[in-house]
Amino acid sequence: MTGAHELGKLFGQGEFRHGKLLIVSGEHARGRYFHIYVIGDDESRTEVYGILGGHPGWTEWYGWLHNGKWQDDFALICEQQKQAVEQYKSERLAAEEAARLASEVKTRNALAAY
């Protein structure tokens, strides 16, 4: 599947609403799926990103079904999501390093107190 894997990794699984865009991401037996819908004023959904071809669930590839300003909005959402993921990774690494250092200090203190 082309297109769904990278975006699915970026957004994870679930439904995410960003203004008038609805992002639907998840996994099935052969990989990830990824769809984007424009939500109308009446809450109707029009798919704008999804399967362009292939056998759904097996060999499908993804792309824009309709072009419009939602593509620019989605690019901005992707950039914000990338920044949020990088911040999370950075904070997680910092917390892991702090825990490792605290464990080293605890071990050193226990051994020194012997």
What pLDDT is recorded for position 2?
A: 53
Q: In angstroms, rounded to a whole number, what is the distance separating the alpha carbons of residues 43 and 35?
A: 16
**Alpha helices (runs of H) in the chain, residue ranges in sequence order:** 4-11, 70-112
Please report which confidence band the pLDDT of residue 1 belongs to, taking 50, 70 and 90 as the band edges.
Answer: very low
Token couple for 22? 């609805």
* CA proximity to 64, closest of 38, 89, 30: 38
- The Cα-based distances of 105 to 74, 100, 113 in angstroms read 46, 9, 12
Q: In angstroms, rounded to a whole number, what is the distance separating the alpha carbons of residues 114 and 112?
A: 5
What mean pLDDT do residues 105-111 have? 94
pLDDT tens digit sequence for 45-75: 999 999 999 888 788 889 999 999 999 999 9
> Per-residue pLDDT for 38 more than 70?
yes
The model's pTM: 0.76
Q: In angstroms, rounded to a whole number, what is the distance separating the alpha carbons of residues 3 and 17?
A: 20
